[in-house]
Amino acid sequence: VDDECRHIVESFWRAMNDNDFQGAGGLLADDFVLDYPQSRERLRGRENWVALNQEYPAAGRWSFQVHRLIVENQQAVTEVTVSDTLNQFMLVSFFQARDGRIQRMIEYWPDPFDPPGMRAHLVEMPGGVK
């Protein structure tokens, strides 16, 4: 089961990196749901998901670099850097699979923030992460 879920998520990011949004959409369940906890938006259905990706403004081709993939049974999470050649974004995605497709995703898009001065004496700057 872990291997199946891993394969689905890897296929998803490969299709995304090919900018093949129809192909990635083919990995989603008919009753697919995507939640954005930061804005409390909920997107339902493969067609809306494909449209969102096709309509989203981009400076160039999208690339998706997967830094981490953790899989347990039918659940997975990825830590990804997204770029449209001009801008770069961080993305953490939780996946729930069912019957060989992605039934649910939860996406977090964390923005950069300035280091809080109050903990400057406790940290190094800039920390290398990847």
- Smallest distance from the beta carbon of 9 to its own copies, in angstroms? 12
Judged by CB under 8 A, which stretch of 11-19, 22-30, 58-66, 109-117 contacts its own copies?
109-117
Looking at residues 5 to 44 of the shown chain, list those that interact with its own copies (rule: CB under 8 A). Answer: 35-44
Q: Does 112 bind its own copies (CB under 8 A)?
A: yes
- Does 1 bind its own copies (CB under 8 A)? Our answer is no
Number of residues lying near its own copies (CB under 8 A): 48
| Nearest one of 2, 125, 129 to 65, comparing CA atoms | 129
Binding region for its own copies (CB under 8 A): 2, 35-44, 48, 51-52, 55-57, 68, 70-72, 75-77, 79, 90, 92, 94, 106, 108-116, 118-119, 122-129
